Amino acid sequence: MGSAVMAKDFSVAIVDVPQVVNASAQVQALKKDQQAKAEEIVKFVEKARKDVASITDANKKKAAEEKYNKELMAKKEKMDQDYAAKLKALDTSISQQINEKAKADGYDLVLSKGIVLFGGNDITSEIIKVVK
């Protein structure tokens, strides 16, 4: 009987995290920014290919290829690091907002909708409203 009483006092919320992420304007802006950076890299590669193709001296051609490859790797690494850092910050922000909303509404536990077969109060739409 004690466990039934405890169960009634224990409130569980569920959140469809992928839906929240997809609805986030910040995530959409990050994706757009990442796409623009990827396009810049494609343009860089095209320019590098043209430059290397125009070089006739084998040694200079090899040096140019190495220079462009090094530059390309540095650009890609920076792009990936920036993206990962921004994504981590957004993930932290979304988790924090879910946590704050759950505390404000008196929930004891919040689970991802993907692991819940039944039960819990779905607060996804409320989270989407607070996540910018």
pLDDT digits (tens, 9 = 90+) for 13-61: 999 999 999 999 999 999 999 999 999 999 999 999 999 999 999 999 9
Q: Quote the tokens at residue 94.
A: 């979304």
- On the 0-12 / 13-18 / 19+ scale of CB atoms within 10 A, 48 is middle
Domain with 70 in it: 2-130
On the question of pLDDT at 7 being above 60, the answer is no
Mean pLDDT over each residue of the chain, to the nearest integer = 91
Number of domains the chain contains: 1
pLDDT of residue 2 exceeding 60, the answer is no
pTM of the predicted protein model: 0.75
Contact between 95 and 89 under an 8 Å Cβ cutoff? The reply is: no
Q: Evaluate whether 17 touches 27 at the Cβ level (below 8 Å).
A: no
What CATH code is carried by the domain that includes residue 33?
Answer: 3.30.910
Higher pLDDT, 16 or 4: 16
The answer to whether 16 touches 113, Cβ cutoff 8 Å, is: yes
Q: Give me the residue label for tokens 């090094």.
A: 70
pLDDT at 45: 96
